[in-house]
Amino acid sequence: MLIKVISTVLVTACLAASSKLPPNEVKIITDDNYRRIQANGIPDHTPGQFPNRHNPNVIAPQSYDYKVPLHPKVAEKPVPFHMQPFGIAVNGVVFDPFAAEWWQGNPASGWQYEPHGGAIDLGLDDSNAHVQPNGAYHYHGIPNGMIEKIAGDKAKMVLIGWAADGFPIYGPWGYSTAKDGDSALKKLDSSYAIKQGTRPAGSPGGKYDGAFVQDYEYIEGSGDLDASNGRFGVTPEFP
């Protein structure tokens, strides 16, 4: 199982995502306290075409060296990450979901465009990824290409990475009963939803429609996941 491989041995993947790209390189090792991930950030699946009309940047190797807690602890309350990677995939590509795009180009406005909201086109590929000006290929959502490479075309609960706090990241499938590994798989639903009504004065105005991060609100119990888009339960690697 994947967790056994990456937690006990040194992994070096040498699979070129494209004939034009260097090979993917990722090493994941552990000691008593930390999981260390070193990677060049080159995807191990075929990325979209970069540069493209909405993303002018070219994929280039990075020098990632991250350490995350091997025995993570739950925080007293969620601590949001903004404008920085919140985790790294098992293939060494970072999860960096926010966009540096703001209403009227002004971060002080408090209205940040949602990359999947439809109001802006960031040139994302089929794996919900694109490229930073420094050449860093990164995921803004579910890394479909990587999941397909791991699971094929089967519905499967897949370990896709590690969060900065050390907890494992899975998606999009999970057990329908969180603590029952024999229950059926289902696509897990977030408990965030688009707000009702219209945006207030001093804002972009108009109806809440998902164009902005601030268009969403957390409704406890409305989905499968908590305010951190996580949950407690069994997984193939942690039965």
C-beta neighbour count of 197 within 10 angstroms: 7
What does the pLDDT average to over 149-168? 94
Full-model pTM: 0.89
pLDDT grade, residue 18 (50/70/90)?
very low
| Alpha-carbon gap, residue 17 to 50, rounded angstroms | 13
Are 99 and 115 spatial neighbours (Cβ–Cβ below 8 Å)? yes
* 25 vs 10 pLDDT, higher one: 25
Q: What is the percent of the chain with per-residue pLDDT over 70, rounded to a whole number? A: 92
Query: Is pLDDT above 70 for 5?
Result: no
Question: In the prediction, which pLDDT does 128 show?
Answer: 97
Question: In the prediction, which pLDDT does 1 show?
Answer: 32
Amino acid code (one letter) for 27? K
Query: Is pLDDT above 60 for 115?
Result: yes
Query: Is pLDDT above 70 for 30?
Result: yes
Question: In the prediction, which pLDDT does 82 show?
Answer: 79
Query: Is pLDDT above 80 for 4?
Result: no
Average pLDDT, rounded, for the chain: 91
Query: Is pLDDT above 80 for 141?
Result: yes
Question: In the prediction, which pLDDT does 20 show?
Answer: 86
Question: In the prediction, which pLDDT does 13 show?
Answer: 38
Are 2 and 169 spatial neighbours (Cβ–Cβ below 8 Å)? no
| Alpha-carbon gap, residue 162 to 146, rounded angstroms | 14
Question: In the prediction, which pLDDT does 77 show?
Answer: 85
Domain locations in the chain?
1-102+121-188
